[in-house]
Amino acid sequence: GVLAHLEMLEMQAHEAAVKQQEVKQQEEKLARLKARVQELRLQRDELRAKVDLQQKGQLGKEGGVSDPAQPSARAVLEWKIKSLKAMLRIFYLTGISSKLTKQGVCFTISTAYEGTYLDSYHLDLLTQPEVRIQRHSVPTFIPLEQIAKKYLQTDIRRFMSVLSDHLNAYVGRRYQADQLQEHFSDQIEGALQRNSLCNLLVFNYNVSSQSKTFLFNARLLYGDLCSILPTEVVISCTPDAPASLAETAGAHSDLFRRMALHKAFRSFRSTEKNVA
């Protein structure tokens, strides 16, 4: 009858309530687990970051749950290699570096001119029974045999220093001549006459005075092979040039003797701008 029906409804309601509670519990559990997963993920990322930092050799003090620890053996080795490479690079940058070989030493002279690194030259030296050059990559117009005859047996340091001076001066002179040809070709008339050692330069260049251009001829002789400045400068003008230009020629001659060639030409440009 009715009571049985009521009982049945009650039971149903009860079951429904239980189910509902179960679902709720499931949902809560799910939410909790999700939160837990987030937490763990965060922790994992933190630990990963810490490990990365450690491997890079940096010991941070932030949030140290794990200890800053001993850097791994691998990290130490890498650091050693890095600082050795830096040391060798420093030696290379000083211009003269060397390496022991089976039979002697190999020297490397790296040349530079005012901050620009230029060519490198090598010498393989044998040390037994006496010091001599086995092979080298020094250009043939550098008086290597002469320098070796003077210093190689008695004072290797002096030998390397003198050779380095010759080579650095040669690349410096060559650099100036190249710069002149590259950047001031509009002022140079005709070809720039030079030689292998770049110790004799002859060229014609334009000089403007009172809105007329005159041709000057310059002859620069670099008597000292270890110097980047000329020892003798002769500047001559064409016969039709006014007498006032003689003074300019003298001034130019002075300038070439004191200053690098391309810098001298740069200063011409600026003075011309000032005058004009």
Partner 1 sequence: MDVTVAEYIRRTVLKIPRDEIKTVLQKWGFLSEAQLQSINFRQMKENTAQEVVQLCEENSADIRQAAVLDVIYNHIYADKRMWSVYQMNKTGEEMEVFCLTDFKKKIKRRLQSALKNVTITFREYEHNAIWIRIAWGTPYTKPNQYKTSYVVYHSQTPYVFISTSVYKSNLPLLCQALVVASNYHDIREMELRSRSLNSLKDIVFKRYSQNFQTYCPRPLQDRNVAPESADPRIIHENRNEKERIQRVNQEVFGDGPQPKLEFAQYKLETMFRSDPKMDVLDKKEPFRCLVKFSSPHLLEALKSLAPAGMADAPLSPLLTCIPQKARNYFRIREKKGLLPGNFVSP
Query: Phi then psi for 57, rounded to 5 degrees?
Result: 85, 5
Interface residue with partner 1, options 46, 97, 179, 259 (CB under 8 A): 97
Between 50 and 166, CB nearer to partner 1? 166
Interface residue with partner 1, options 26, 116, 185, 193 (CB under 8 A): 193
Query: Within a 10 A sphere around the Cβ of 252, how many other Cβ atoms?
Result: 20
For 237, the token pair is 């003008």
Does 188 help bind partner 1 (rule: CB under 8 A)? no
Does 141 help bind partner 1 (rule: CB under 8 A)? yes
How is 219-255 classified by DSSP, letter by letter? EEE---TT-SS-SEEEEEE-TTS-THHHHHHHHHHHH
Interface residue with partner 1, options 26, 116, 137, 206 (CB under 8 A): 137
Residue type for position 220: L
Does 136 help bind partner 1 (rule: CB under 8 A)? yes
Between 70 and 140, CB nearer to partner 1? 140
Distance of closest approach, residue 196 Cβ to partner 1, in angstroms:
4
d(CA 218, CA 89): 41
d(CA 14, CA 12): 5
Binding site for partner 1 (CB under 8 A): 88-89, 91-92, 97, 99, 101, 106, 108, 110, 120, 122, 124, 135-141, 143, 146, 191, 193-197, 199-200, 202, 221, 223, 225
